[in-house]
Structure 1
Amino acid sequence: MQVYSNLYRVKLEHWQLSKHPKVSLATSYYSDVAEEHEQVTGRKGSHAATRANIIQAVQRGIPLQVGIVEVFGGQRTAEAREDLLTLGVRTVNVDRVRSVGRGKVHVPSTKDLCGRCADGRATVMTDGTVTPCVLGRFLGTGNARTEGLGAVSFFSVGAPA
């Protein structure tokens, strides 16, 4: 199971859960420069907190995947990638902003999804909403908190194949 987090604030008990052999972490990182990272997140201090928790995950031996999302021209994505590799992160992906997720620049569309939504994966949001993937948040399929995870169905998801 992959847990996606902004790694802004991680409690000790979350680190302990992340040590489970079937759990991996994923996060986003936007720049090696705090001001650029925080321009994207809109949260002062997010660069230092996220970077420190990336270091924690690496030191704890927790499998970690980091996505660098290019949101604006001139963003230091290459330098951010190098920074992450220097920290010991082994899986770093660079992508562009899409119409889905928090970086949406227009109305969300299934055209911006990869086509593997609900293919052995799901996302459970903090309010219990279940979606077929972290980027398909607009494709709610039920609520694990109110209906139970077993009652959630992915058969109506219209993501491209």
Structure 2
Amino acid sequence: MFKKLFGQKSTSDKVVSPMSGQVVGLEEVPDPTFSEKMMGDGVAIKPDSGEVVSPVDGEILQLFPTKHAIGIQSVSGIEYLIHIGLETVALEGEGFEAHVKQGDKVSAGDLLITVDLDIVAQKANSTITPIVITNEVSSLDKKLGQTASKGETEIMYVEK
């Protein structure tokens, strides 16, 4: 509270789920790039709906041309990658619709991408969606094993 009163920047994020579904550890992602945390630590969602919302307040750093992945930097400076499904780059954007572009400011819960999970399930390896922290942080508290509602359920608490 004192930081907000005196205009100091926050150094932590309460991360809400970008998709509705089951929250699992990255170890359950059937791709070593994510399960071995080569890109960073985080959690994954086994989604039950195709709306992807912002997990934090921040700015869109990158929207991949195929719309299968999006990078966001929170107001605290923590960077997140949401990778929708596995091997979805091969779909070349089929089944994905972006609602934001690089440089857009977003609030937690804002719609980023819609995805047809049926197309992903049929044509890609998996619908599981990793949410990875791509820069260094000092503390990460994961909220695994719960069923999350997009834009509402806290899935991680991260400190820079």
User: So what's the TM-score if we normalise by structure 1?
Assistant: 0.24
Larger Rg: 1
Structure with a larger share of its residues in strand = 2
